[in-house]
Structure 1
Amino acid sequence: MFDTICTLPLTSDLFTQAIHPTEPILSVGLAGGHVHTFLLPPTSDDSSDEHVTVSENGHGQIETAWRTRRHKGSCRSLSFGIDGGQLYSAGTDGLVKAADTATGQVFAKIAVPLDTSKGTPDPPALLHCLSPQTLLLATDSSALHIYDLRTANSMLAPKPSQTHHPHDDYISSLTPLPPSPTSTSGFSKQWISTGGTTLAITDLRRGVLVRSEDQEEELLSSVFVDGLPARGSSKGEKVLVGGGTGVLTLWERGVWDDQDERIILDRGAGGGESLDSLALLPEGLGLGGKVVAVGMGDGGLNFVKLGPNKVVAKLRHDETEAVVALGFDVTGRMISGGGQTIKVWHEKINEEDGEDVGTGKRVVGSSDEEDSDDEDEESSEEEQSRKRRKRRKRNKGKDKNAGKGVMAFKGLG
């Protein structure tokens, strides 16, 4: 199915990763506040750079485009702009920074609003670019801020145009719903969020539309899947939600009060492993139909085929660390992240041989000037916030040992 072609060690625990929408580029945000951007090799079909050596099975050199200590404290979330030209990062220093993807140069900053109920800093939880004009920012207090990017193109600190509270707990995932056929912009105006034990739908113009019943388990991840068989009242469009106790739930689009199907991926005393990340496999990767990759709290990767609703394959990212980030780049390679490791996977070529494809070479590129000079220890506020984020947060990162005792390539320390 997939073989690992490269394993990238990181200098501290991974909190987030972002995959470029149109180019083979990966950015990671770390517990130590660093942001690294890597250039993945193109496949043989899309290679136009005579300086990049790529074999027929997608191997080549992975280069570091730039690296920097972007935030004082952890880098909690990353999001590329719609066209991939900008990279937004959010840190526990209370800042969102917008940088040029190619150079890493910061061109704008946004101050994360305080927690209005306490008047204290409100660490960011998630970022998502909904359109060229709209940036979503979720925080630990459950606030969901909406920014108009047309007012955030300088080193100023604009205020959000709207703020909602779709959940009573921190927002753990954001998934846009596809635009309607009558949309004139072609961009989503509604999105699903999970937080605590509920799922919610929010509209860009009308605010929070629906919040589900209490599901009695923590909801951690979500992904939208269309193109499923339409039967009865089902239109073949579902949202899959990963829970904290090993259960994957399916929600029919438009019926948001409660789930309509459950797939138990892991059973265990007191609950199974958490389902920390979800990603839909691109069409044509060999398994047929709709398949969702699931990143598990124990470091495993399960592949669930929808329709028969069964696990069709299993892999392992790590022996102990949770898979907190999962996605596919523009070439169809799977990228998983967790602990202090990123893995790049290529569709298996020699399935009949039962052999690994191998490990790609990694070449360190240039790095830009550091934004921050000091490697600060995790603050008490960050520690308290990390505890509040319960199981998923516990899996996502431990800030204190940033880069200590970890093998790192030269130039990455």
Structure 2
Amino acid sequence: MFQNICAITFDHDLFTQAIHPKEPIVSVGLSSGHVQTYRLPAGASDNSDADETLASENGFGHIETAWKTRRHKGSCRALAFGVDGVQLFSAGTDGVVKVADVTNGNVTAKIAIPDDPAADSIDAPCLVHALSPQTLLLGTDSSALHLYDLRALGPKARPTPQQTHHPHDDYLSSLTPLPPSAESTSGFSKQWVSTGGTTLAVTDLRRGVMVRSEDQEEELLSSAIVTGLSKKGTSVGEKVVVGGGNGVLTLWERGVWDDQDERIVVDKSPGGGESLDSLALFPSGVGPGGKVVAVGLGNGTLRFVKIGQNKVIGELFHDELEKEGVIGLGFDVTGRMVSGGGRTVKVWCEKDPEVGDDDEDVADAMTGAKRSHGSDDDDSDEVMEDSSEEEKPTQKRKKRKRGKGKQQKGHGILGFSGLD
């Protein structure tokens, strides 16, 4: 179904990745606090004599390092592009969200994450999402969900949350906006589904937390929305798919949030299935047709599930040797799949049906030589203190989020006169 055309490797563990909404750009956040941005090839090339060290949609073209920097003390936990792709938001265990220009990485604004009042310490972020040009959502380990007005950002501004909700008893493991209604004048979502611990919740921009599901008695880790499904009976043709910690994908009918509607077993490993750490819906025109969801597992496997038939239709390995979990998964603007886990991000293009297995094996073997950039320790565009201890991710997302050690209180970085 897909063939791997390049692999970008790092000197530190990958914690998060973000894919640009309009350009072939991928940004990554690492356990060292580095944020790095790469520009992928624009698309297919007719140059069949290109060098092996290049990579693109058909195996040719450059991967460019747009910029890289040590952005946070401690780990960079979450990344998100703005809806127009102009800004990149990064959130770190130093208790700071930084807003950067995507083209050069220069910081244009900062947000201090409120401390965890129960622990009297930094409330480390677990999720950041730009809902619209006006609203930024920020989830933390204490289960807080802060809403910020992006219009209040600026070089000297010190924005505070406009609203704070607690849709779950545990940290937010995923957030998926619900498509706006036909009556929407803005065209942007005003409601979203989140998962945290063993529950699913729906929150409204104006009304707050509207509903929380029953306890599912299994950890819910990832989510995605599937639209355009068959409308039968009371079905509205839209379902939220949720990846669980036991290898099962659950389907939730939009508007019926108290309990799951269907279950699809993605992994049947002995002793309990592997965790389903990340999900991404195939874009239109990619794959075998129909509604297909890519699933990243905790053992480094990628599996593909066709919704409607509700069965696994394919499998690949992001990391067959180290078996690091696939914590990042998505598709770029050209339809290429991007998977991230361990110390590697891989880019995949659809396999030519006329290409045999031998050709695919050659492509896989070449991936380590296709980088056209240096390591993440080569430069730094800002002076930062070294963290005393680097956070270590594990296969299970919850363990990775919680295994961070005590953070010191305060946001001293915000006291600098000027921005880095």
Fold in common (TM above 0.5):
yes
SS of 2:63 mapped into structure 1: strand
Q: Deviation of residue 284 (structure 1)?
A: 1.5
SS of 1:363 mapped into structure 2: coil
Q: Name the CA distance, whole Å, in 2 between partners of 1:398 and 1:26.
A: 27
Q: Deviation of residue 378 (structure 1)?
A: 2.1
Q: Name the CA distance, whole Å, in 2 between partners of 1:288 and 1:111.
A: 44
Deviations 1:345-378 (A, max 9, x none): 0111254422217246332289874334443232
User: In terms of mean alpha carbon deviation, does 362-371 or 7-16 score higher?
Assistant: 362-371
Say if 1:146 and 1:163, in contact at 8 Å, map to a contact too: yes
SS of 2:397 mapped into structure 1: helix
Match of 1:392 among 397, 414, 419: 397
Partner amino acid, structure 2, of 1:30: L
Say if 1:43 and 1:54, in contact at 8 Å, map to a contact too: no
* 2:345 equivalent to 1:342: yes
> Residues 305 and 395 from structure 1, CA distance in 2 versus in 1: closer, same or farther, beyond 3 angstroms?
farther
Count residues in correspondence: 389
Backbone CA RMSD of aligned residues: 2.4
Say if 2:5 and 2:55, in contact at 8 Å, map to a contact too: no
2:169 is matched with 168
* 2:84 equivalent to 1:83: yes
User: In terms of mean alpha carbon deviation, does 37-46 or 339-348 score higher?
Assistant: 37-46
Q: Deviation of residue 45 (structure 1)?
A: 8.1
Say if 1:13 and 1:399, in contact at 8 Å, map to a contact too: no
Q: Deviation of residue 230 (structure 1)?
A: 1.1
2:181 is matched with 180
Q: Deviation of residue 395 (structure 1)?
A: 5.8
> Residues 117 and 94 from structure 1, CA distance in 2 versus in 1: closer, same or farther, beyond 3 angstroms?
same
SS of 1:150 mapped into structure 2: helix
2:150 is matched with 149
Which sections of structure 2, spanning at least 5 residues, go unmatched? 48-53, 406-420
Which structure 2 residues correspond to residues 276-355 of structure 1 after superposition, within 5 A? 276-319=277-320, 320-354=323-357, 355=359
> Residues 246 and 150 from structure 1, CA distance in 2 versus in 1: closer, same or farther, beyond 3 angstroms?
same
1:364 is matched with 373
Say if 2:76 and 2:90, in contact at 8 Å, map to a contact too: yes
Q: Taking structure 1 as the reference length, what is the TM-score of the superposition?
A: 0.89
Say if 2:43 and 2:57, in contact at 8 Å, map to a contact too: yes
Q: Taking structure 2 as the reference length, what is the TM-score of the superposition?
A: 0.87
SS of 2:137 mapped into structure 1: strand
1:406 is matched with none
Deviations 1:383-410 (A, max 9, x none): 8xx79xx92144689999xxxxxxxxxx
Partner amino acid, structure 1, of 2:18: A
Partner amino acid, structure 1, of 2:258: D
Q: Name the CA distance, whole Å, in 2 between partners of 1:5 and 1:46.
A: 16
Match of 1:376 among 361, 380, 387: 387
Deviations 1:24-81 (A, max 9, x none): 000000000000000100113899xxxxx88772631101010000000000000000
Q: Name the CA distance, whole Å, in 2 between partners of 1:373 and 1:61.
A: 31
Q: Deviation of residue 222 (structure 1)?
A: 0.1
Which sections of structure 1, spanning at least 5 residues, go unmatched? 48-52, 401-413
> Residues 342 and 363 from structure 1, CA distance in 2 versus in 1: closer, same or farther, beyond 3 angstroms?
same
User: In terms of mean alpha carbon deviation, does 67-76 or 109-118 score higher?
Assistant: 109-118
Q: Name the CA distance, whole Å, in 2 between partners of 1:136 and 1:194.
A: 14
Q: Name the CA distance, whole Å, in 1 between partners of 2:276 and 2:152.
A: 37
Percent identity of the aligned residues? 65
> Residues 114 and 363 from structure 1, CA distance in 2 versus in 1: closer, same or farther, beyond 3 angstroms?
same
Q: Name the CA distance, whole Å, in 2 between partners of 1:46 and 1:210.
A: 53
Q: Name the CA distance, whole Å, in 2 between partners of 1:318 and 1:58.
A: 20
1:67 is matched with 68
Say if 1:339 and 1:397, in contact at 8 Å, map to a contact too: no
Say if 2:45 and 2:60, in contact at 8 Å, map to a contact too: no
SS of 1:115 mapped into structure 2: coil
1:409 is matched with none
Partner amino acid, structure 1, of 2:108: F
Deviations 1:72-108 (A, max 9, x none): 0000000000110100000000000000000000010
Q: Deviation of residue 148 (structure 1)?
A: 0.1
Partner amino acid, structure 1, of 2:325: A
> Residues 396 and 311 from structure 1, CA distance in 2 versus in 1: closer, same or farther, beyond 3 angstroms?
farther
> Residues 369 and 280 from structure 1, CA distance in 2 versus in 1: closer, same or farther, beyond 3 angstroms?
same
Which structure 2 residues correspond to residues 33-72 of structure 1 after superposition, within 5 A? 33-44=33-44, 57=58, 59-72=60-73
